[in-house]
Structure 1
Amino acid sequence: MKGAADQQRLCWTDVERKEVVSGAAPCDVVFLNPDDPIPDAGNTLGQFGRDMYQVMVATAVVVDARVRRGIGIGVEMAAAVTLGTPVIVVAPRNSQYRSDVLEYRGVRVTDYVHPHVAALATEVVEDFTAAGRALVALAHRPKASQPRPEWLSAALTEYKDHVLDIDAPMLQALRKIESSAPAATSTTA
């Protein structure tokens, strides 16, 4: 949750994190939290770079698609594909991005998955426990990244050069990742 407006939204909580951990057992899961503040909140490129860095170092990006989401999650999904990071989308049947039957533009579609989700997701799962199982299954998959666009390279460079060394929550997460081999890492979106 980013602020008061999100109090009424369906967002990640400890419940969802516990379900991912349960599904991934016995593997350790380290969550990279994009909501942790960076030391210089005015460095917007650094903030964006932090989000992209988390996407880059994660085993997978787990997307909460139970309800409608915003532009940031779409950008993180597209960046993940570019960086070779698998995308696991939690989209229960008959929710915002997935439907058994959809009447759309005068056509009846069965087993519908939103086109952006279908194109970018490595896995579409029903719940967070299934996301944990998918995370483990993808943990040893080699990353096959695409050429990086300038906007992504600039953000990653800004973050690594000017923010990472003073980003205590991220440094702590990186230490956890390094000390718990093999660990599955997930950035939440």
Structure 2
Amino acid sequence: MIISVYCSGSIAKGEGDERKLCWTDLERKQVQEGAHPLEVVFLNPDDPITDPANVLGQFGRDMFQVLMASAVVVDARERRGLGIGVEMAAAASLRTPVIVVAPRNSKYRRDHLEYRGARVSDYVHPHVASLALAVVDDFTEAGEALGRLPAAPRDPVGTPAWLRASIDEYRSNVLAGDQPMLDALHRLGVHR
């Protein structure tokens, strides 16, 4: 069986990002190993885009990938930004399961935390806890969680208005030249 995973996490955008933890072939290999015997097609937001000046189309590409994914796996090993939060919210809106890699005692997950005047045990950041189907320690565990996704297809859902314009822009003006995404759709047996 073939499934698709949207790789949510930081993208190296230039100088100063070389120390940032990002998705690499190692993380993808670990997800694939954990998901075995499932075959995983990775949808990568950092693949080159034909028109980087088309910001609506670029956002639409990410949202289209979230829509097409069997699951979104979020790299939350360290502090993340606005884009990852939007991807998680979009996934929830589109009913795409979210699996968050947040090791114990990292930014979004703590064994103990002094929080709002109280000591909390087994703390998971409220946004992560509310939007994630599973919170795991590493990418192999994320792959294992993929194997536990519901077998039945998700209930169809209309695309929320706040996502529709960007996805339409991507489909109309960017997808035809997006070879990595066209290849992924072909592997998944999806006809655009």
Q: Same fold, TM exceeding 0.5?
A: yes
Q: 2:31 aligns with which of 3, 20, 23?
A: 20
Larger RCO (CA within 8 A; separation ≥ 6): 1
Unaligned 5+ runs, structure 2? 1-11
Partner of 2:64: 53
* Alpha-carbon distance, 1:28 to partner: 0.7
Q: State the distance in 1 between where 2:158 and 2:118 align.
A: 37
- Seen in structure 2, the aligned counterparts of structure 1 residues 107 and 90 have a Cα distance that, compared at 3 Å, is same
| Partner in structure 1 of residue 171 of structure 2 | 160
Q: Distance in 1 between matches of 2:122 and 2:57?
A: 40
Query: What is the alpha-carbon root mean square deviation over aligned residues?
Result: 1.5
Residue 82 (1) aligns with residue 82 (2): no
Instruction: Tell me whether 1:117 sits opposite 2:124 in the alignment.
Output: no
Q: What is aligned with 1:130?
A: 141
SS where residue 120 of structure 2 aligns? Answer: strand
Aligned to 2:15: 4
CA distance in 1, matches of 2:147, 2:130: 22
Amino acid at match of 2:99: I
Structure 2 counterpart of 1:66: 77
2:73 counterpart SS class: strand
Runs of at least 5 residues in structure 1 that lack an aligned partner in the other structure: 180-189
Q: Which has the higher helix share?
A: 1
Q: CA deviation at 1:140?
A: 2.3
CA shift for structure 1 position 88: 0.3
Residue-pair matches, total: 179
Q: Percent identity?
A: 64
Normalising by structure 2, report the TM-score.
Answer: 0.88
- TM-score w.r.t. length of structure 1: 0.90
2:113 match:
102
1:170 and 2:181 matched: yes
Q: Which amino acid aligns with 1:86?
A: P
Q: CA deviation at 1:146?
A: 5.4
Distance in 2 of aligned mates of 1:25 and 1:51? 26
Letter of the aligned partner of 1:20 in structure 2? Answer: V
Q: Structure 1 5/148 Cα, relative in aligned 2: closer, same or farther at 3 Å?
A: same
What secondary structure, in the 3-state scheme, does the structure 2 residue paired with 1:108 have?
strand
